[in-house]
A and B are shown apart, each in its own frame.
Chain A
Amino acid sequence: MTQVKMTVNGKPASGDVEGRTLLVQFLREDLGLTGTHVGCDTSQCGACVVHVNGQAVKACTMLAIEAEGAEVATIEGQAAADGTLNTIQQAFQDHHGLQCGFCTPGMVMSAAALLKDNPKPTVAEVRHYLDGNICRCTGYHNIVKAIMAASGQDVAAIAAE
């Protein structure tokens, strides 16, 4: 076992892990942050997307040891301490961007990574960026709409599409 230390959602976190322990296992099983989901475990679905040093990564395809010293952000850190949803989360609710919600943590974290680099994306850019996030329920339309709304753009035309 090796001790790892990282910052998760702004707070110090540490634990003893095996070489093979995945970041997503460490987050869910050691830290109890079960908002990050495991859909496929084969790096296809994006349900496990978190940010490591500000970059979106699939936590099922990164070893916990590799996050030593990193700043990790998960879905649990997105809302304010009093539970107020952030802009992206609120937009998902307002625009019905989720149904079962399984993919949503990954969708929200991917959306946050996109909007950080590209604050006013086009619909095509949003869809391209979500290449690695699979949703079995919504058909993506409302997810794209929610992200466009979260970026402060008019989504009335998208509804009519």
Chain B
Amino acid sequence: MYNFDVERPATIAQAVKALSTEEAQPMSGGQTLIPTLKARLAMPSVLVSLSGIDEMKGVRKNDDGLLCIGGGTTHTTVATEAAAHYPGLAELAARIGDPAVRNRGTLGGSIANNDPSACYPAAVLGSGATVVTNSREIAADDYFLGMFETALHEGELVTEVKFPIPQASHYEKHLQPASRFPLVAVFVAKFEEGVRVAVTGASESGVFRWTEAEEALSGSFKSDTLKDLTLDGSGMISDLHGSGAYRAHLATVMTRRAVDAISD
């Protein structure tokens, strides 16, 4: 790792100020960023640590019934504190990586990074959540722009995510056992207004909604409804773990399993 200075602000305002210099980068849990720094794929001269900002932590339900989770909330905290409100989300958090990763890694870090195989993007998009930053609110549909790409500007911080709570939801993760990320995973959320289906780990453009499946399931919420639907393997990630066609197929299987898990 190249050396850098570390700043530890106590408020969002102080962090935003510290990030106004060009060479500064935020660090939340560091579970992605520290390995990236070791590989010298990022070389900030100032790291602005978000871990001491209490106003970015916590899980609470607001007056509109949305579950608001601070960007600096660890996966472990979400797994325990969201369980009573939004079990599908809590279960997703409980299966990210391993316990030590969950004790440091955060919601904000995960969706700022937008790894094409990360878990949280599927829940944020699949819930139709709103990403709150230090300067604005961004609908999930407008937030995830592609592999490792988001609508965030330079120096903009994910301070909170507001999740509408579905009637039922399930995250089905096909584990890539070496990385413990999903190879392909699907988040299905059933709302009164309709069903949302978000697929992660599959597409070269990152997390996406499988709208055909959403329409079918909104009509009839049964896995059978999906049996003739397929996803196109072109544009899907192909690597030593699986071809694009394999991932496309896996996404359909994960979706059906998620629906079965909810219907049972």
Q: Which of A2, A42, A62, A129 contacts B99 (CB 8 A)?
A: A129
Task: Please determine whether A61 and B6 come into contact, CB atoms closer than 8 angstroms.
Answer: no
Question: Is chain B's binding surface mostly helix, strand, loop or mixed?
Answer: mixed
Cα(A57)–Cα(B105), bound, Å = 10
B180 within 8 A of A: yes
Interface centre among B1, B99, B104 (most CB of A within 10 A): B99
Question: Is chain A's binding surface mostly helix, strand, loop or mixed?
Answer: mixed
- Shortest A93–chain B CB gap in Å is 24
Given A42-B38, A131-B98, A131-B180, CB of A65 within 8 Å of CB of B6: yes
Task: Please determine whether B51 and A57 come into contact, CB atoms closer than 8 angstroms.
Answer: no
Name 19 A/B residue pairs within 8 A (Cβ), A-sorted: A19-B4, A20-B1, A20-B4, A43-B31, A43-B101, A46-B100, A55-B103, A56-B99, A57-B103, A61-B104, A63-B47, A63-B49, A65-B8, A65-B49, A66-B6, A66-B8, A110-B99, A113-B99, A132-B101
- Counting chain A residues whose Cβ lies within 8 A of the other chain, the interface size class is 20 to 34
Given A19-B47, A61-B31, CB of A132 within 8 Å of CB of B3: no
Cα(A49)–Cα(B2), bound, Å = 24
Task: Please determine whether A132 and B98 come into contact, CB atoms closer than 8 angstroms.
Answer: yes
Interface centre among B8, B31, B38, B103 (most CB of A within 10 A): B103
A37 within 8 A of B: no
A58 within 8 A of B: yes
Task: Please determine whether B76 and A46 come into contact, CB atoms closer than 8 angstroms.
Answer: no
Given A2-B6, A19-B5, A55-B76, CB of A61 within 8 Å of CB of B34: yes
Cα(A7)–Cα(B35), bound, Å = 26
Given A43-B34, A131-B180, CB of A66 within 8 Å of CB of B100: no
Cα(A57)–Cα(B128), bound, Å = 32
Q: Mark B1-15, 1 if CB is under 8 A from A, else 0.
A: 111111010000000
- Shortest B167–chain A CB gap in Å is 28
Given A20-B4, A43-B35, CB of A63 within 8 Å of CB of B30: yes
Task: Please determine whether A18 and B3 come into contact, CB atoms closer than 8 angstroms.
Answer: yes
In the assembled complex, which residues on chain A have CB atoms less than 8 Å from the CB atom of B146?
A: none
Task: Please determine whether B30 and A61 come into contact, CB atoms closer than 8 angstroms.
Answer: yes
Cα(A49)–Cα(B34), bound, Å = 16
